[in-house]
Amino acid sequence: MKLRKVLSCVLIFTLLLGAFPTASFAAQDSWQPKNNEPFIFVHGLNGWGSDEGINSLIPYWGATTGDLMVFLNKNGYECYSASVGPISSAWDRACELYAQIIGSTVDYGVAHSEKNGHDRFGRTYYSALVPDWGELDENGKIQKIHLIGHSFGGTTIRMLVHLLTYGSPEEIAATESNDISGLFIGGKKDWVKSVTTVSTPHNSSNIYYPLKYFGIYDVVRNFSYLYAGIMGRSFLNGRFVDFHLEQFGLTDIPGEGGADNLLAAIYRAETNNKDTCAYDLSPKGTAELNDMLEITDSIYYFSYSFSTTEKLPIIGAEFPKLNTNPVIYLTSLIMVFMPEFKDEYTQVVYDDDWRSNDALINTMSATYPFDEAHKDFDETFEKGIWNVMPVREGDHGSAIGLFADEETVQSYYLELSDMLCNLPD
């Protein structure tokens, strides 16, 4: 129990900064999943998937309430927890996610890799999470998947779906037709049934501004690369943690090696100013992503935002609830009492509507990307539009089970799974 508590604190810290498939009963001949399309869960910033040793001690999905993947499998749902770069950009993470699901070598793209000064190829996944993804079944229907992302994981799956649907004109122009990844060709919009984001900063977060002003943002970014470089070439790499930064030469490919000189690799990563999660999470970076990413008209989109604040009686001011995780209570307080201002680049006005938050992400930001169509939940669901679900109570960590009520967390994900299972074609 002491070790579990320590590791829980590690997870809290990662939240502050933001291949073995999950145990599945699908391998049992007598077990038939309720869902015809598997669920792929994607972790957020500094998170991990089921193929990392830390997950057996403190699962990312479920955290202190127990392994959510095991729980959902026991309840009849085929689901997998993917593992992508904890501090990588949305583009790099989407490329890794694609390779992991389909079972192939990670291809970051010719144009993208040259532009950002890193290797084109990463590791190879010899075993696919969903071996028949995109293929026709016995009834002539395409095998689809459901994508669920927490925090920056939501941005990652939006990037994946965009590339699957529209491809990348830059990669097509820069790559021979017989050498390009299937991800960059596009034309695969029918491969995904739904996209669900949980506490995702679709429009960044106003906590960025004080972190940037006091230099904390850059310190954390630089420390993260140093930490990843040291851990990524230690015996723990691939056994306990995995930073997926071999494209920069910063970490070894587990079991293969390949890391460059530590200082040279750190310099390469730090001088790359845009191909990072830090940039993608900034207001400017998020706005640029939203300009790039397009919604797909054949896919269901759902967004769940959380709030750990409430308006106090009499004074009517927003304030963090007492049951907010104490480690991130201060960030919630700062977000509540930040003065109203307007971002010069995004033109977003941070007014009273932005005070409600989950201690890391403004509730407003998690509802939907501001440049895409949306509608509030009304018992009916539409494709090609964000179905904005009712705001749920809780902080950024409790959304995935960290120091949360077990029954509440499990009921939430059971309801979500059942809803996704019953979506019409």
Active-site choice (81, 151, 199, 307) = 151
Q: Which H or E element spans position 156?
A: helix 152-166
Mean pLDDT of 46-73: 97
pLDDT in tens, 69-88: 999 999 999 999 999 999 99
Give every CB contact of residue 412 below 8 A, 6+ residues apart in sequence: 392
Quote the CA–CA distance of 80 and 68 in Å, as a whole number: 10
Residue 24 has pLDDT above 70, yes or no: no
Note whether 48 and 241 are within 8 A (CB): yes
Note whether 98 and 192 are within 8 A (CB): no
pTM for this structure?
A: 0.93
Pick the closest to residue 306 from 332, 326, 330 (CA basis). 332
pLDDT at 270: 86
Give every CB contact of residue 348 below 8 A, 6+ residues apart in sequence: 203, 283, 342, 370
pLDDT band at 26 (very low <50, low <70, confident <90, very high): very low
pLDDT band at 317 (very low <50, low <70, confident <90, very high): confident
For tokens 């990662």, the residue is 14
Show the tokens assigned to 187.
């034309």
Quote the CA–CA distance of 232 and 237 in Å, as a whole number: 5
Quote the CA–CA distance of 38 and 197 in Å, as a whole number: 16
Pick the closest to residue 201 from 273, 274, 85, 287 (CA basis). 287
Pick the closest to residue 41 from 125, 122, 87, 100 (CA basis). 100
Q: Quick one: DSSP state of residue 246?
A: G
Quote the CA–CA distance of 318 and 97 in Å, as a whole number: 38
Quote the CA–CA distance of 248 and 36 in Å, as a whole number: 38
Q: Chain-wide mean pLDDT for the chain?
A: 92
Q: Quick one: DSSP state of residue 26?
A: G
Quote the CA–CA distance of 240 and 255 in Å, as a whole number: 13
Pick the closest to residue 281 from 183, 352, 384, 212 (CA basis). 212
pLDDT in tens, 372-420: 999 999 989 999 999 999 999 999 999 999 999 999 999 999 999 999 9
Active site residue 8: no
CA pseudo-torsion sign 63, 67, 73, 75: negative
pLDDT band at 27 (very low <50, low <70, confident <90, very high): very low
pLDDT at 16: 44
Phi-psi label, residue 187: left if phi above 0, alpha if psi -120 to 50, beta otherwise:
left
Beta strands 79-82 and 306-307 are unpaired
Max distance between CA atoms of the chain, in angstroms, equals 68
Active-site choice (358, 365, 398, 417) = 358
pLDDT in tens, 330-369: 999 999 999 999 999 999 999 999 999 999 999 999 999 9
CA–CA distance from 184 to each of 97, 139, 162, 276, 345 (Å)? 13, 28, 10, 20, 29
Show the tokens assigned to 17.
């900064």
Note whether 100 and 19 are within 8 A (CB): yes
Quote the CA–CA distance of 162 and 157 in Å, as a whole number: 8
Note whether 315 and 388 are within 8 A (CB): no
Beta strands 121-124 and 309-311 are unpaired
In the chain, what are the domains? 2-311+363-421 (3.40.50.1820)
Active site residue 202: no
pLDDT in tens, 132-186: 999 998 889 999 999 999 999 999 999 999 999 999 999 999 999 999 999 999 9
Strand-pairing partners, residue 148, are 41, 196
Mean pLDDT of 94-118: 98
Quote the CA–CA distance of 355 and 88 in Å, as a whole number: 28
Active-site choice (118, 202, 396, 417) = 396
Active site residue 411: no
Residue 105 has pLDDT above 90, yes or no: yes
